[in-house]
Structure formats: C-alpha cells, structure tokens
Amino acid sequence: MEKEGKVKALFLMSLDTLIIVNSYILAFIIRFNFDFIMDKRNELILFLPVIVIIYLIMLSIFKMYKSIWTIVGIDEVAFGLIACLIATGIILITSTIISSIYYIDHITVLLAGLFIMIFTIGIRVSFRIYRRMISHGRVLLNSSNISNLEKILIIGAGSCGQLIIEEIRKQNPIKQKVIGVIDDNPSKIGTYLRGIKILGNRNKIIAISEEKNIDLILIAMPSVDGKTKKEIIEICQSTRAKVKIIPGMYELIGGKVSLNRMRDIDLRDLLGREEVILDKQGIKDYIENKVVMVTGGGGSIGSELCRQIAKFSPKLLLILDIYENNAYELENELISNFKNLKEKVLIASVRDEKRLENIFYEYKPQVIFHAAAHKHVPLMERNPEEAIKNNVIGTLNVAECAHKYGAERFVLISTDKAVNPTNVMGASKRMCEMIIQAIDKNSNTEFVAVRFGNVLGSNGSVIPLFKKQIAKGGPVTLTHKKITRYFMLIPEAAQLVLQAGAYAKGGEIFVLDMGNPVLIYDLAKDLIKLSGFEPEVDIKIEITGLRPGEKLYEELLMDEEGLRKTSHEKIFIAKPGEYDFEMLKLGVNALKKIADLGDGETLKTALQFIVKTYKRLDTENNSVFNEVALHESIEAI
C-alpha cells in the first residue's frame, strides 16, 4: 500500500514537472508575442530547473502528493493555490536578487504561475470528475429498471447530508439511489445538494415517500435539538419506509459521519432529550488528580459515572461493588479505553462497616459518588429489611467514613421515588437524603444528593423487560394504562451528576430536569413498532394492575422544598431540610434492630414514623404508628 502511494506521488511529480515546464514555455511565447529572443530564452532554460524544484517543494510541503484526489475537496484546492502562490512569490524574489546575473521577466513568471495554478489544480480535480462520471455511468447502466434500486430520501441538507450522498454514490451506486432531500430551511427548497433536489420541508415527507415509493429514509441531522428530532422521527415512522439516523454528535467518535454509523431509530431518539453541555473545567477542578470512589460502581449509573470520571484524569478511581462480575467487566473496559487511568476494583458491601473503615483508612478517597442501592420497588416491598440494610444503613456507613476521613465531597445518587414515597424503596432513599443533609451540618465534607427519575435501559428497568416480551411474541405487560414515568439517558444522568457535584456547597438536593413524564403505554407501543410489529395486532399489550407500593406518577419535588436555579439549565436546587443527625441515627439503629428480627410490617410502620412523607398504599390508616409505639417496639427488642 505504501509502495503504491510512492508510485502515485512520483507520477504526480512527473506530471507537475511537465506542467511547470510547459507553462513557462507558453508564458514566454505569449509574453514575447511568439518572438523567440535567444538570450532571454537561454536564461530561462538555465533557471528552469530551479523553478521546477521550488514548485515541487512547495507542493510537497502542502501535501499535494499525499492527498486522495478522487475525493478532492475545497481544502485540497486551497492548499494547491497557496502552494503555487508562495512558489511564484519565491521565484519573483529570487529573480530580482539575481537579476544582475540572470534576467527573468517578471510578467513571464506571473503568467506562468497562473497557468501552473490552473493546470496543477485542474488535473487533480479532473480525477474526481472522472471518478464521478464512472460512478454515474455505472448507475445509469444498472438503473434502467429503477424498481431494483433502494430509493432513499435524506432528511437534512447540511454537510452531513452532503457526505451521505457522496458515500452512497461511492459505495452503493448500483444498489441505492438518492431520490431527494428534505430540509426545513425555506431558502434551500428547490435548490440542489450534490445534484439532488431539495424537495421540501418536513411536512412533505409523507407525501414524497408515497409519491416516490421511498424505501429508506436517512435522518442526517446530528446537531439537531431533541424536540425537533423526535417530531421528524414520528413523521418518518408514519411512512412505510425504513428509517435510520446518524447518531448525535455526543455518540460520534471524533464527530465523524459515515454510512456505517447510520443506526436504526431507538427509544433514545423518541425521548427527545437534548445533548448535555457540561462545564468541563468545573468538573475537572474537583476530580483531576483526586482519589475518587464510586460505590455501586458496577451498576448502570455507577459504571457510567466511572466512564465519565475517567475522562477527567483522577489520581485513582476506586470502583466499589459487591457484585464481582459487573465490576470485572467494567475494569477491563476502562483498562482498554483509558490507558493512563489508575483504577482499583474493591469487592465490598456498603453494609460492612469494618470493611469500609479499612478501605477509607487505606485510600482516603477525596470525592465519593454513592450509587450503591437496591432500587426495585416490588422486590423491596416484599423484602423491606434489605432496603433498610443496603440503602439506609449503607448510606450512613459510607457517609460517616467520608466525614471521619476528611473527604472533600460526597454525592448521593437519589431518585424521584424519594418524593412523597408510597413504597419502602422510595422511603429508604428519602431517609438517605435526610441523613446526608443532617450530617452535612457539622462536617467539613460537602454532602449533597442528586435526584432524578428512571434511566433508559438500566439493569432491570422496564425497557429490557418489554424487549424480552416482544421477542417471545408478547404480550407486553403493563401495570396501568395511565402510568407515567420520567426518563433520561444513562450518559446524560451521569454527566449531570458530575456537573451537580461541581456546584456542591453542602446540604443541597440537586434536582435534574427530566423533561416531560412519559406515558409507559406509549413507550410500549413505540418499542413494539421499533421491533417491526403492530401494537395490539401482532403484539398485545396486557394491563396487569398496579403492584404494591407503585404510584401512577412520580414527582421530583415536595411542596415544601421549592426550587432555585443553578448556572446549568438542567440542574436545580431544592430547599435544604432541617434534620438532627443524632436523632436520625437513633432512628436508623431502631430500624436496624427491627430489620434484624425480620419483622417487615413493623419495619414499614417504623419507617413511616421517621419519614413523615411516606404514605403507604397497602394500609387504610397511615397514622397508626406514633412515637410512643416506636419506643415500645424498640424497648421490646
């Protein structure tokens, strides 16, 4: 391959040498009106080798012998022109300096320079024209019956759309044909992009798809906002055509656009979430060269936090998790993708106070992201003891170690289910928020919580369940037709958690902008459609009824909390609560004793007393337990 490149370079150099020599001969003839003045001709012949060398050197410096000329663009043309202009300038200066020895006519030099520019660039552009003509010729020869070609409609008449048209012509000219382009910019409608007409705006997509019998729609708008993308996708899905999309810029490695990166539409696109813009310097300031710990590091959010943290060059990344398989896979991924990252996997439980003490004593983490938690509502409703031990006691253990060993920052990953909870999981997470707000009052560590809703595709979430049910032919099971949830993407959530950490002053609960709640029934229908089936025809949707502790809708904020803005449009701060840490510790100890007895019913009731906003859905009277009853239960234990 390298040898072939050298041969091509030598061929172009030989061609350029002929162009330079003949350009000077032509310029000389024109300048002197076809009168071959002997002395001037001889001087030119003597100086011509120097001229050739100057031009070849300048063309080489500007990589004119290393470019791929079958796909020549504006950059290559510009470099060629600059190289020729500089070479011409050098020759003019040189000829002036040596004019007493050799006289080279300046008008001849300028005229020859113009010819060299035209012919050196022209010959290279002709390579591309020849390639394009061959490509078009193959299409014409093979498209006498256009019905055999896959007919494509491209959405987006920007640089991305242009690149896609060029790639289709280069890679699949005998299999695919671009029929037209759609763009919402009125000034572009009716014009042509790489010879393809821009037929109209998004309102024309359905009509054009039917009229032109479009087989494939390619959405080539990587920088478009989430709302617009969602609207365009929904229009495209109303056609019979298959729909593919170029990922958003945050998904593109190096921002490179190609046909191979086109992917099927998925639920990420239908959420209409905007790309997160981060204050990277603010995040870097509190993570770079710091020992950073992520508890629950092998989980969905924890692992993504580790990936994002790795980009900011921590001194050491501690991945703490009780489950070895996920942590092992993440470690291998990080080693592969971040060659200079220092990381260590610690297999440990946040319940194990002594183990945590040893870890904090040895590594002294400066920044802690506490993501370890049980999160499944129905499971925790049936096993409340585990929710208390892992979520509440685990959070207290990690928080006390962070305080004791002088950590700078502690970020709790919370949930919208902590707001006016109706289940054990939500109530346990609300108690975690209360703990970090209480401990923050008398600590140099900045304790904060970040509260958000569901993340799309996380372990055990509704999406993987729906996909399995669809793969089996249905039915897709749904607890209620009107149930809604907030959703965001895993990378988006992790990035916003890091950003919120940069704003930490101590005691805040940061609330992430989750957008509008999503109707799960619509989500199920979208997923069925994306799988190539018709909802309620090919795949049935079955309503099973709400599960214990499950709410129809989630909230991100309690009435008394209020909200104030931060400098980031997607992050807000809830008003801090006032809690006594020692009293909370008494409550935690009481819950631990009840949990050790395995008395789930008493445990739920005791939790209700501590978390005043916890309203159980499985009892008629939510006020049956009072402070006296709590003390009596503890004394009995």
Decide if 610 contacts 542 (C-beta within 8 A). Answer: no
Answer yes or no: is pLDDT of 579 > 50. Answer: yes
Rounded-to-integer distance, Cα 578 and Cα 353, Å: 26
Asked, colleague to colleague, whether 146-265 and 280-456+487-514+555-582 share their fold, the answer is yes
Average pLDDT over residues 108-120: 89
Nearby residues of 46 by Cβ (< 8 Å), 6 or more positions away: 102
Rounded-to-integer distance, Cα 300 and Cα 350, Å: 17
Model confidence at 130: pLDDT above 90: no
Alpha-carbon dihedral 476, 480, 486, 492, rounded to 10 degrees = -10
Q: How many CB atoms lie within 10 A of CB 341?
A: 16
Lowest mean pLDDT among 174-178, 421-425, 508-512, 584-588: 174-178
How high is the pLDDT of residue 134? 64
- 218/490 Cα distance (integer angstroms): 25
| List of residues 6+ apart from 366 with CB closer than 8 A | 290, 291, 292, 407, 408, 409
- Written as one string, the DSSP assignment of 49-96 is HHHHHHHHHHHHHTTTTTS-GGG--HHHHHHHHHHHHHHHHHHHHHHH
The predicted structure's pLDDT at residue 629: 47
Residue tagged 């600590």 (tokens): 443
Max Cα-Cα span within the chain: 123
**pLDDT tens for residues 380-419?**
999 999 999 999 999 999 999 999 999 999 999 998 888 8
- The string over 114-132, giving b where at least 16 C-beta atoms fall within 10 Å of a residue's C-beta and e elsewhere, is ebbbebbbeebeeebeebb
Residues 358-377 as b/e (b if ≥16 CB within 10 A, e otherwise) read ebbeebebbbbbbbbbbbeb
What's the CA gap between 100 and 98, in Å, rounded?
5
pLDDT for 263 beyond 80 = no
Which region among 99-108, 321-330, 501-510, 619-628 has the lowest average model confidence (pLDDT)?
A: 619-628
Pick the closest to residue 163 from 75, 260, 259 (CA basis). Answer: 259
Per-residue pLDDT band for 621 (boundaries 50, 70, 90) equals: very low
| This model's pTM is above 0.75 | no
Tell me: the pLDDT tens digits for 268-322? 777 766 667 777 898 999 999 999 999 999 998 999 999 999 999 999 999 999 9
| Each residue's pLDDT tens digit, 138-197 | 555 555 555 678 899 999 988 888 888 888 877 766 678 889 999 999 999 999 888 889
Domain boundaries, the chain: 2-140, 146-265, 280-456+487-514+555-582
What are residue 579's phi and psi, to 5 degrees? -135, 145
Structurally, at CATH architecture level, domain 146-265 sits in 3-Layer(aba) Sandwich (3.40)
User: What rounded mean pLDDT belongs to the chain?
Assistant: 83
Please state the rounded mean pLDDT for residues 35-51: 69
> Considering just the CA atoms, what is the radius of gyration of the chain in Å?
34
Tell me the three state secondary structure of residue 489: coil
Instruction: Give residue 538's pLDDT.
Output: 85
CA-CA distance, 82 to 113, in Å (whole number)? 11
417 is catalytic: yes
Catalytic residue among 177, 229, 244, 417: 417
Is pLDDT at 23 greater than 80 in this prediction?
yes
Of all residues in the chain, what percent carry a pLDDT higher than 70? 83
- For the ranges 42-46, 480-484, 551-555, 618-622, the lowest mean pLDDT is seen at 618-622
| 3 state SS of 320 | strand
Q: What is the CA 593 to chain-centroid distance, rounded? A: 45
Which stretches within 472-611 are classed as H helix? 490-502, 520-530, 581-597, 600-610
CATH number of the domain at 280-456+487-514+555-582, please? 3.40.50.720
**Tens-place pLDDT, residues 515-545:** 777 888 888 888 888 777 888 888 899 998 8
pLDDT tens per residue across span 447-468? 999 988 877 766 667 877 888 8
For residue 210, the tally of other CB atoms under 10 A from its CB is 12
Mean pLDDT computed over 358-367: 96
